[in-house]
Amino acid sequence: MCPKYECATEMLGKKWTGLIIRVLLGGPKRFKEIKEQIPEMSDKMLTDRMKELEHADIIKRSVYPEMPVRIEYELTEKGRGLEPVIRSIQDWGEHWC
């Protein structure tokens, strides 16, 4: 079978990952703003997932040297490429779940 397909699903299949990407499709967000939209997810879980997504080059973390420091997360080009995936999953879910 196709290793590229497995590579894609390995990341997307993790719990919360799709939801985090969906929130970030709405534009750059701070940690707290992401958390507010997925309240059932623990801080530790969100931190772990964000690190994985950053490592996979799906999200980018930007630090703005303001006072207090502002840290924002946004999708990279690779991450924005997931929009059709997220949308097709959602369409299917609305019809069938």
| Residues of the shown chain interacting with its own copies in the complex, contacts defined by CB under 8 A | 1-10, 12-15, 18-19, 22, 37-38, 40, 78, 81-82, 84-85, 87-97
62 membership: H or E segment, kind and range: strand 59-64
Q: Angle, nearest 10°, between helix axes 3-12 and 17-24?
A: 80
The nearest distance, CB 80 to its own copies, in angstroms, is 11
Nearest to its own copies of 3, 68 (CB atom): 3
In the DSSP assignment, the letter for residue 16 is T
Nearest to its own copies of 8, 71 (CB atom): 8
